[in-house]
Amino acid sequence: MKRMIFATGNAGKMKEIRMIMEGTGYEVISMKEAGVDIEIEENGSTYEENAMIKAKVVAAITGDTVLADDSGLEIDYLNKEPGVQSARYLGEDTPYAIKNASLISRLEGVPDEQRTARFVCAIAAVLPDGRELTTRATIEGRIGYEEKGNHGFGYDPIFYVPEFGKTTAELTEEEKNQVSHRGKALELMKKELNRTI
Ligand code: IMP
Side chain identity, residue 125: A
- Give backbone dihedrals phi and psi of 99, rounded to 5 degrees, phi first: -65, -45
User: Would you call the peptide bond into 157 cis, given omega within 30 degrees of 0 as the criterion?
Assistant: no
Q: 172: CA distance to ligand 1 center in Å?
A: 17
Alpha carbon 31 to its chain centroid, in Å, reads: 16
Q: Please report which confidence band the pLDDT of residue 177 belongs to, taking 50, 70 and 90 as the band edges.
A: confident
Average the pLDDT over 125-142 and give the result: 97
The structural domain count of the chain equals 1
Please check whether residue 167 is in contact with residue 160, taking contact to mean a CB–CB distance below 8 angstroms: yes
Q: 87: CA distance to ligand 1 center in Å?
A: 6
Please check whether residue 149 is in contact with residue 156, taking contact to mean a CB–CB distance below 8 angstroms: yes
Q: 129: CA distance to ligand 1 center in Å?
A: 30
Please check whether residue 143 is in contact with residue 158, taking contact to mean a CB–CB distance below 8 angstroms: yes
Would you say residue 57 has pLDDT above 90? yes
3-state helix/strand/coil string of 57-71:
HHHHHHCCEEEEEEE
Span 59-112, pLDDT tens digits = 999 999 999 999 999 999 999 999 999 999 999 999 999 999 999 999 999 999
* Cα 126 from Cα 67, distance rounded (Å): 7
Residues facing 41 on adjacent strands? none
Q: Domain containing 38 — which CATH number?
A: 3.90.950.10
Would you say residue 9 has pLDDT above 90? no
Give the residue, out of 71, 99, 123, 182, with the most ligand 1 atoms within 8 A of its beta carbon, to mutate for a pocket test: 71
Give the residue, out of 16, 86, 148, with the most ligand 1 atoms within 8 A of its beta carbon, to mutate for a pocket test: 86
Pocket, ligand 1, Cβ cutoff 6 A: 69-73, 86-87, 119, 152-156, 168, 180
For the annotated catalytic residues, the residue numbers are 70
Report if pTM > 0.75.
yes
Would you say residue 13 has pLDDT above 90? no
Domain that holds residue 51: 2-196
The predicted structure's pLDDT at residue 131: 96
* Cα 35 from Cα 139, distance rounded (Å): 33
Average the pLDDT over 136-152 and give the result: 97
